[in-house]
Amino acid sequence: MIATSVNEVRNILSPAWTLIRKVSMENYERVIGGVRASVIALGGIILLVALILYEAWLRRFLRQFSSLLKGIVRMGKGDLESTAFESTSIEEFKQMQREINRTSAALSRQMDTIRRMEREQMALENERKEQERIARELSMARDIQASALPQTFPAFPDRTEFDLFASMTPAREVGGDFYDFFLIDSDHLALVIADVSDKGVPAALFMMASKTLIRNELMAGCDPATALERVNLQFCERNPSKMFVTVWLAVLELSTGKGLACNAGHENPCIRRAGGAFELLKYRHDVFVGGLKRAKYRNRAFELHPGDCVFVYTDGVPEATNAVKAMFRAELLIDTLNQDANASPEELIHRGHEEVKLFTGHAPQFDDMTMLCCEYRG
Q: What's the whole-number mean pLDDT along residues 220-236? A: 96
Q: What is the mean pLDDT of residues 142-146?
A: 71
Considering the domain architecture, whether residues 315 and 340 belong to the same structural domain is answered as yes
What is residue 2's predicted lDDT score, i.e. its pLDDT? 43
43 domain residue, yes or no: no
Q: How far apart are CA 85 and CA 69, in angstroms?
A: 11
Pair (144, 159) in one structural domain: no
Report, as an integer, the average pLDDT of 206-219: 94
How many domains are contained in the chain? 2
Asked whether residue 141 falls in the same domain as residue 168, the answer is no
The confidence band for 61, taking pLDDT boundaries of 50, 70 and 90, is: low
- What's the pLDDT score for residue 3? 45
Measure Cα distances from 81 to 31, 66, 71, 86, 103 in Å: 66, 17, 9, 16, 10
- Establish if 141 belongs to a structural domain: yes
Element (H, E) at 169: strand 162-169
Q: What's the rounded mean pLDDT across residues 63-79?
A: 64
- Domain end among 93, 118, 148: 148
Of the candidates 104, 131, 148, which is a domain's last residue? Answer: 148
pLDDT computed for residue 10 by the predictor: 46
Amino acid at 359: F
Query: Do residue 169 and residue 270 come from a single domain?
Result: yes
The answer to whether residue 51 is domain-embedded is no
Q: Give the range among 18-22, 212-216, 361-365, 366-370 with minimum mean pLDDT.
A: 18-22
In a domain, 6, yes or no: no
Q: Is 18 a member of any domain?
A: no
What average pLDDT does this structure show over 367-373?
94
Neighbours of 89 (CB within 10 A): 9
123 and 207 inside one domain: no
Residue with the larger pLDDT of the pair 67 and 128: 128
Q: Is the pLDDT of residue 174 over 60?
A: yes
pLDDT at residue 90 in the model: 58
Residues 103 and 198 in one domain: no
Question: Is the model more confident about 61 or about 288?
Answer: 288
Residue 141 has pLDDT above 70, yes or no: no
Q: How far apart, in whole angstroms, are the C-alpha atoms of residue 276 and residue 273?
A: 5
Residue 183 — φ and ψ, nearest 5°?
-90, 120
Based on the domain organization, do 133 and 164 belong to the same domain? no
Same-domain pairing of 128 and 162: no
What residue numbers bound the domain in which 253 lies?
155-376
Q: Is the domain of 96 the same as that of 141? A: yes
Q: pLDDT higher for 325 or 239? A: 325
pLDDT recorded at residue 367? 87
Claim to verify: residue 143 and residue 174 sit in the same structural domain: no
Task: Compute the CA torsion angle 168, 164, 290, 224 (nearest 10 deg).
Answer: 180
Q: Are residues 282 and 311 in the same domain?
A: yes
Q: How confident is the model at residue 20, as a pLDDT? A: 56
Task: Determine contact, residues 252/223, Cβ cutoff 8 Å.
Answer: no
Average pLDDT, the chain: 84
At residue 237 the predicted structure's pLDDT band, cuts being 50, 70 and 90, is confident
pTM, full prediction: 0.68
Task: Answer whether residue 276 is part of any domain.
Answer: yes
**Over the range 296-327, which residues count as b (16 or more CB within 10 Å of their CB) and which as e?**
ebebbebebeeebbbbbbbbbbbebbeeeeee
Of 133, 148, 163, the residue that ends a domain is 148
